[in-house]
A = this chain, B = another copy of it.
Amino acid sequence: MASGYTVAVVGATGAAGSTTLKILEERQFPIRELRCFASPRSVGRLVTFKGEPHPVRAIEAAAFKGVDISFGSAGTAQSKEFTPMIVKAGAIVVDKSNAFRMDPAVPLVVPEINAQAAARHSGIVACPNCTTIVTVMPLKPLHDAGRLRRVIATSYQAVSGAGVNGIDELRQQTLAWARGETIPPQHFAHRIAFNLIPAIDKFGENRYTAEEMKLVNETRKILDSPDLPLTATTVRVPVFTSHSISVNAETETKITVEQAHRLFSSFPGLRLFDDPSEQRYPMPIIVEGQDDCFVGRVREDISHPSALNFWVVGDQLRKGAATNAVQIAELLIR
């Protein structure tokens, strides 16, 4: 019998799920047996892993018997429905959805930041929202060095954050434009081609969107700073993958640009990319396909004695989702 783990990928045909398969392969995760799952309409399709076809199965308890680790890459509703069953079948679930992130019993983990939290799981480890992951990566070394006092995050989010439907919608709308046609929005509330939509997910009573409150609440949980003052504005932009965030971070102890450069360049998973004279700054087209989050445009906030502005970009499907989930699984098998 081959050594390794029996691994399930739930939502294997989606954008995050198929990237998870790619990352499992790239990082040579020790897999003895792979089982791929998706919603009924995808059952019977084949997905490829290490050059081999794998049939997509229906999500039912019996099929999870013997699974060690299950990656949840489906939506929040599906995750709420199926995760308890999968845990009961004996698997540890690394869940990418919003279903359990703020559950006090569930660790919310970015391995470079709070790996130790993963050990305290009771069957589920949650993977944060993609925008949270990219934003919190550079915040962590600043927090450790100077204690964050207030954070203002403003995002530029790719359509990949809305899954394959989001990617397809930008593609189809742009192709229609090239033919001199327009097609109505289907997945997004408004046209996304050559436009900006300053609203992601539903609005809450405080006039923030759910996406914005995820960024606020998840960052606090990951940094173990439940009272950290934080505000966010999240915007969908016509970019295929990679989320960008403009961050203003105030610290108790002043951090200079030089210090921030040192902190960012020595933090695992971050790549300092900040050479304005050479027109080098993080951009989606540079970061796409990379596991690191790229940080640049670091400068002192001229409106405040102890704050920095910077710009961070991360591949939403990789570090923002699949890579982070596989890193969590690597922690679990250590």
List of B residues within 8 angstroms of A229 by Cβ: 302-304
Name the contact of A199 in the complex, choosing from B237, B279, B304 (C-beta under 8 A).
B279
Which residues from 266 to 294 on chain A have a C-beta closer than 8 Å to any C-beta of chain B?
276-277, 279, 281-285
Residue of B nearest to A233 (CB): B246
Q: Are B195 and A284 in contact (CB under 8 A)?
A: yes
List of B residues within 8 angstroms of A233 by Cβ: 154, 246, 297, 309, 311
Oligomeric state, in copies: 2
- Among A65-73, A96-104, A127-135, A171-179, the one that faces the other chain is A171-179
Q: Are B299 and A199 in contact (CB under 8 A)?
A: no
Count the A residues whose beta carbon is within 8 Å of the partner chain — how many? Answer: 56
Candidate in A175, A197, A246, A248 with the most chain B CB atoms within 10 angstroms: A246
Residue of B nearest to A229 (CB): B303
Which residues from 250 to 278 on chain A have a C-beta closer than 8 Å to any C-beta of chain B?
257, 276-277
Q: How many angstroms between the C-alpha atoms of A301 and B299 in the bound complex?
A: 23
List of B residues within 8 angstroms of A194 by Cβ: 170, 238-240, 284-285
Is there a chain B Cβ closer than 8 Å to A49's Cβ? no
List of B residues within 8 angstroms of A164 by Cβ: none
Q: How many angstroms between the C-alpha atoms of A216 and B304 in the bound complex?
A: 13
Is there a chain B Cβ closer than 8 Å to A37's Cβ? no
Name the contact of A283 in the complex, choosing from B196, B246, B298 (C-beta under 8 A).
B196
* Contact A276 to B203, CB < 8 A, known contacts A190-B285, A237-B196: yes
* Contact A152 to B195, CB < 8 A, known contacts A203-B277, A231-B304: no
Shortest beta-carbon distance from A226 to chain B in Å: 14
The contact sample of 13 A-B pairs, CB cut-off 8 A, is A174-B177, A175-B178, A194-B284, A195-B285, A196-B284, A198-B282, A207-B297, A207-B298, A231-B301, A231-B303, A233-B309, A235-B244, A237-B237
